[in-house]
């Protein structure tokens, strides 16, 4: 007997898919807890070379909290990934524009710091690539905070999907 298909698909998008989006994906999986098995959470980048590992800083901040990103490999965001997703969370307005150019409908593409409304737009998630370890730690703190906020409406959508 095969495992049930995920009821929801969540896609996180950043630039290189080696820092923010893979960290956001593990943060949301952790926040979803038992519900994570029913949600496919993945990540991609708008300007990446496919197959790159997570950055050293991302590996370190994730490991410090007990998460393993060693199997992560970057991939480019595609029309197919966007179409398959129920929610697409991006790190900036530029990422939103890139996803919308791929046909991502406005109602399912959200800047991670701004959703659900009113969000916390005063806590944007800056790209730590090439910066200090402290920059990675701050990025991780913000992503964990945003994932806690996002998890509740994702769980609600999951419950609604199960009912219908």
Encode pLDDT of 107-136 as tens digits: 999 999 999 999 999 999 999 999 999 999
Task: Exactly one of 83, 86, 127, 161 is catalytic; name it.
Answer: 127
Residue 65 has pLDDT above 90, yes or no: yes
For the question of residue 20 being annotated catalytic, the response is: yes
Q: What pTM was computed for the model? A: 0.95
Tokens representing 55 are 């950055």
From the candidates 19, 20, 142, 144, which is the catalytic residue?
20
Least Cα distance to 97 among 111, 84, 86, 87 occurs for 111
Whether 163 has a pLDDT exceeding 80, the answer reads no
Distances (CA, A) of 61 to 109, 130, 146, 163: 27, 14, 16, 38
Q: Classify the C-alpha dihedral 147-142-145-97 as positive or negative.
A: negative
- Identify the three-state secondary structure at position 121: coil
């Amino acid at each position: 007997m095969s495992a049930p298909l995920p009821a929801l698909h969540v896609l996180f998008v950043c630039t290189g898919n080696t820092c923010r989006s893979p960290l956001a994906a593990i943060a949301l999986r952790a926040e979803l807890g038992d519900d994570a098995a029913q949600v496919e959470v993945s990540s991609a980048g708008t300007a990446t070379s496919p197959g790159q590992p997570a950055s050293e800083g991302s590996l370190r901040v994730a490991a410090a909290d007990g998460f393993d990103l060693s199997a992560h490999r970057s991939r480019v965001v595609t029309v197919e990934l966007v179409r398959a997703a129920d929610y697409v969370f991006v790190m900036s307005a530029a990422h939103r524009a890139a996803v919308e150019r791929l046909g991502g409908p406005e109602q399912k593409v959200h800047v991670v710091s701004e959703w659900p409304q009113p969000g916390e737009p005063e806590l944007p998630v800056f790209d730590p690539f090439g910066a200090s370890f402290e920059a990675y730690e701050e990025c991780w703190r913000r992503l964990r905070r945003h994932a806690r906020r996002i998890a509740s409406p994702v769980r609600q959508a999951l419950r609604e999907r199960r009912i219908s």
